[in-house]
Structure 1
Amino acid sequence: MSNERKGAIDQPAVYPSLKDRVVFITGGGSGIGESLVEHFCAQGAKVAFVDIAAAPSKALVERIAAKGDPKPLFMPCDLRDIEALRSCVAQAAKELGPIRALLNNAGNDDRHATADVTVDYWNDRMAVNVRHQFFAAQAVRPMMRDAGGGSIVMFGSITWLVGDGDCPAYVTSKAAITGMTRALAREFGPERIRVNCLLPGWVMTERQVKLWLNEAGEKQIAERQCLPDRLFAPDIARMALFLAADDSRMCSSQNFIVDGGWV
């Protein structure tokens, strides 16, 4: 079993309001995004997702269909191209119906030092991590409003809360997402559109384990987390299900931290 699938529980919650709900997920081809796609499809939602990596995304679609869950709609997209993102949102709505839940998951936490950051790299990190979240929310807002409401889940990170020092552009972008969440929640609220921010801790995706989980990392987890267990993508996905479902209908403008008690 791959690391992304660990963290499953025997009897996960079922949210009736998510059945047939149209859900749009960014960065759905691997890691946390892959688990989001799997969990929402398992709830009977109509899922559309975008990712820059076509091969793993297509494999995910076939794996979900083989399980008998509703087959998700995959659209390749580089989220730095805002017009392409807008086109994918429009295509998803045309094929599946009005989008009622948006999961702004996509991002990249490559490590970097301040001295090495150029203007181009800085702008690229903002484009990869924060800019598309705003424009995806902008794109789905009219259909959510016309449908009577919806849920937008922005994806932040605990890195800005703890002040990680090995990726300053990433930390800055993730801090900005919390500010954006509060601004959009205030503006969209009268239309019954909820906007919340989900802040994962150190999630044991395949990428994280391969690149950064060494002896020092294991020691850090043991020292910083309150809980002894490792955090996996399904732990994040289950919080996202709650935030997208009607069960969280009065939750908006909030940070929801899932980090094993790190912060």
Structure 2
Amino acid sequence: MARYDDLDGTSVFITGGGSGIGAALVDGFLGQGARVTFVQRSDAREFCAEMAAKHGRAPEFLPCDVTDTAALQAAIDRTAEQQGPVRVLVNNAANDNRHATLETDAEAWRAALAVNLDAYFFATQAVVPMMRDLGGGVIVNFSSISYMMGMADLPAYTAANGAITAMTRGHAREFGADGIRVNAVAPGWVLTERQLRLWATPDALSGILGRQCLPRHLSAEDIVGPVLFLSSAASGAITGQCLAVDGGVVTVAG
């Protein structure tokens, strides 16, 4: 993994950081020497102990439902008090449960947008004032290639991810004068434990390899390097972009 010296000691806040891609991100930032706080609903104390054994220090875990805006913004404020103002925000938490348009009622639609879009907006709202005081900062939003591919079995998720990409561009313009860079990462099918358990059938696995340029499946670790790069001074002139990390699916489809 490349080393970015400017991330050493940086205050980083990650949503959904205790499992899957989020856990890999926590691991990656700790490896850079960053001070990391993450939130998620489920208990992540065992994961924190693993990180402490690996890195000699644990991330800070704050139990939080990111759809509770007050609790999410309070966690960000607590992070600033404990480890310094947040310089890097990674909006990673998401829920890609499958659902059909004709079977989705108003409550389910709003619940899906609450976790997949609203939390991104309100976490950004909380960190911008402290980033302004710092003279700059970085926000990395997680989108997905699912909306680029026109996937049909998760309309709220794809709608949210298309909106995340649009919001990323708008926020890059809105906050660029404050030295705040805002970019998005759009992963392809990353085979986390959840994906393997719920949807990775032999036919599905074969199908995604047929769409990729690279003939191998993606892991959570494949996403870490791009996020670290976008969070570091190495990408200091990059903002308002959406980087597909998908093994070449979008290239083939486009």
Tell me which residue corresponds to 1:32.
21
**Counterpart among 191, 198, 204 of residue 211 in structure 1:** 198
Give how far 1:215 is off: 1.5
Give how far 1:88 is off: 0.1
Count of aligned pairs: 250
Q: Note the 1:15-164 alignment, pairs <5 A.
A: 15-54=4-43, 57-164=44-151
TM-score by length of 1: 0.94
Counterpart AA for 2:240: S
- 1:180 paired with 2:182, answer no
- Taking the aligned partners of 1:58 and 1:50, their CA distance within structure 2 comes to 11
- Taking the aligned partners of 2:101 and 2:3, their CA distance within structure 1 comes to 45
- Taking the aligned partners of 1:252 and 1:66, their CA distance within structure 2 comes to 35
- Taking the aligned partners of 2:63 and 2:231, their CA distance within structure 1 comes to 23
Counterpart AA for 2:24: S
Counterpart AA for 1:71: A
Give how far 1:238 is off: 1.1
Deviations, residues 159-209 of structure 1 (Å, cap 9, x unaligned) = 000000111111101111011101111000000000001100000100001
- 1:231 paired with 2:218, answer yes
Secondary structure of 2:184 counterpart: strand
Give how far 1:70 is off: 3.2
- Taking the aligned partners of 2:236 and 2:126, their CA distance within structure 1 comes to 21
Unaligned runs of 5+ in 2: none
Counterpart AA for 2:84: G
Identify the range of structure 1 (62-71 vs 122-131) with the bigger mean alpha-carbon deviation.
Answer: 62-71
- Taking the aligned partners of 1:69 and 1:101, their CA distance within structure 2 comes to 22
Secondary structure of 1:210 counterpart: helix
Give how far 1:108 is off: 0.4
Closer/same/farther in 2, CA of residues 216 and 118 from structure 1, 3 Å limit: same
Kept after mapping to 2: 8 A contact 1:42/1:69 = no
Secondary structure of 2:119 counterpart: helix
Counterpart AA for 2:142: F
Give how far 1:222 is off: 2.1
Kept after mapping to 2: 8 A contact 1:17/1:245 = yes
- Taking the aligned partners of 2:218 and 2:109, their CA distance within structure 1 comes to 29
Secondary structure of 1:75 counterpart: strand
Give how far 1:151 is off: 0.4
Deviations, residues 111-155 of structure 1 (Å, cap 9, x unaligned) = 011111000000000001000100101100011111110100010
Aligned-pair identity in percent equals 48
Alignment RMSD (CA, Å): 0.7
Tell me which residue corresponds to 1:5.
none
Superposed structure 1 runs of 4+ greater than 3 Å apart: none
Give how far 1:47 is off: 0.2
Unaligned runs of 5+ in 1: 1-11
